[in-house]
Structure 1
Amino acid sequence: MRTSFRPSKKHISDIEKWLSEEWNSKKEGFITDWEMIPEAFEEDRLSVLTKDEKAIAFIVYRVYDEMAVFDIAEMKPSERGKRQAKKFVSDTLDYLRSQDVLVVKLYCSPQNSEGFWSKCGFQKFDIPHNDQINMYKTLVDELKPSKTKQKTQSDKIKLWDCEPHLATRNAPRWIWELEYKEDQKTLIKPIIFPAFYEWQVELEKIDKKITHKIKYFPIDISETGTFMIIDKLENK
């Protein structure tokens, strides 16, 4: 078995064949989303697992700066249950990590795939106004929220799971104690956290506080969809 990130047109034909067979026999699979697969192939957004030079699994993904999204992932029905899929996913995650991706997210379709993605190290998270089963996996060692409420002199990032007009009534739900590299701007470990873009976030320093919605936060912060990713703090 081999994972390829530059599959051939023959591999695309292999995938189309067994997706069509799956649909004709079980009315299942992703042939209904077929147009996404050749498009990903043309744009180098497709990883393929091959066996005897034939494609037996694929993942369609998109990359947004430091975050990637898995749109479609499927293994050929006759190849399932052979402990190949987890290694294939791991190879794809390793490749994305080499491309400076920090976190990967997906939603489970079908919903019973949640167990498989959990075994691959993905965690479930909720998005307001979204009933899908959303999951994510960080690809680097990230800064974890503090488990203590003791006051310290370090800079902090505080996050509320609500909009600013409600945050005044509640304490922040998560707090990160910041540690910097020598430039005093770049974090030793990045903050990578699923967060709704309307939630309130605050940077607390010894001499000031900066508070706003995530989507308007006036520092060097990467807002990538439903994730707050902070690796450098530089006031604007």
Structure 2
Amino acid sequence: MVTGYHIQELCLMLKILQTNLNPSRKHLLQIEKWLSKEYNSGGHQFYGNWNGIVKSFENQNLITIQYEDLVYGFLTFKLDDYVAHIDICVIHSEQRRKGLGKELLDRSTEYFQSFGILVLELFCVPKSSQSTWKRLGFLDFPEFPHNNRISMFKPIVEYLKPNNPGETKQNKILLWECKGYRKERENPKYQWELQFENDGKTLQKPIIQPAYYKWNLQAIINGEIILEEEIERFPNNNVEHGNFLIIRELIV
């Protein structure tokens, strides 16, 4: 009879792994047990984040992947408007390199999309996890001032990708990786060619780009500059800022 964690291969084959959006304290204690064991054996130090994991559990910001009542992995997160911040994603040490991390992330992504989330964000801790996240489709942030962490992101909807700055477009948005007063000495780093829905303001695909809030942004409609300002000073109904430039509509 196959029991315990050794039932893993059977679960994957039969597609009967469960995603639990509301794990119980019993599941939380399982997680504590195997994180503590790994910590004491000199493995990954995720147990050092235990207080944060408990807080995520209490805020219902913890998702587990399991077979019946046996937890194989978990993910903690925060939702912020259109961004899901992934804090911790851990698979049981005996079950790694079997695709469970991708399975957990894919199922969690479907859940986030139900809240209108457009993009995932995380910090690579430990730094050695960067290559793993890249395999899962995450991209590196551009360099931000005063930020030494390895930040990564992954859009989870179809989005408008930048094209080559300098091409002549009647409707476009330009972004400089600098403040407005330095714009004349540098070339724009990103350009998006805009295509609107029938209402003339909603973009057919949203712009999703990590961006420092002091960077300069310029909107051109019908060949004329209609808005030009640092991201944080753009009208709030046009631009969501923070670690991302997210534009879904342009009201002029």
Q: Taking structure 2 as the reference length, what is the TM-score of the superposition?
A: 0.88
Higher strand fraction (1 or 2): 1
Q: Which residue in 2 is equivalent to 1:103? A: 119
Q: Is the 8 A contact 2:165 2:191 kept in 1?
A: no
Match of 2:244, as an amino acid? F
User: Paired residue for 2:29?
Assistant: 13
Residue aligning to 1:24: 40
* Structure 1: unaligned runs, 5 residues or longer: none
Matches of residues 1-236 of structure 1 in structure 2 within 5 Å?
Answer: 1-26=17-42, 28-125=44-141, 126-147=143-164, 149-153=166-170, 155-206=171-222, 207-218=224-235, 220-235=237-252
State the superposition RMSD in angstroms.
1.6
CA distance in 2, matches of 1:21, 1:224: 41
- Structure 1 residue 149: Cα displacement: 3.0
Tell whether the 8 Å contact from 1:156 to 1:178 is kept in structure 2 after alignment.
yes
| Further displaced range: 224-233 or 203-212 | 203-212
1:141-192 Cα shifts (integer Å, max 9, x gaps): 1011123633232x21110011111112122111111111111111110000
Aligned AA for 1:33?
N
Contact residue 179 and residue 216 of structure 2 kept, 8 A: yes
State TM-score, norm by structure 1.
0.93
Quick check: 143-152 or 15-24, which moved more?
143-152
Identity of aligned residues (%): 35
- Separation in structure 2 between the aligned mates of residue 89 and residue 49 of structure 1, nearest angstrom: 10
Distance 1:221 1:106 in 2: 25
* Partners of 2:86 and 2:144 in 1: CA distance: 17
Aligned mates of 1:47, 1:177 — CA distance in 2:
38
Amino acid at match of 1:116: T
Could you say if the C-alpha distance between residues 119 and 162 of structure 1 is closer, same or farther in structure 2, counting changes exceeding 3 Å?
A: same
- Tell me the distance in 1 between the aligned counterparts of 2:144 and 2:178: 12
For 1:164 and 1:117, locate their aligned partners in 2 and report how far apart those are by CA, in whole Å. 33
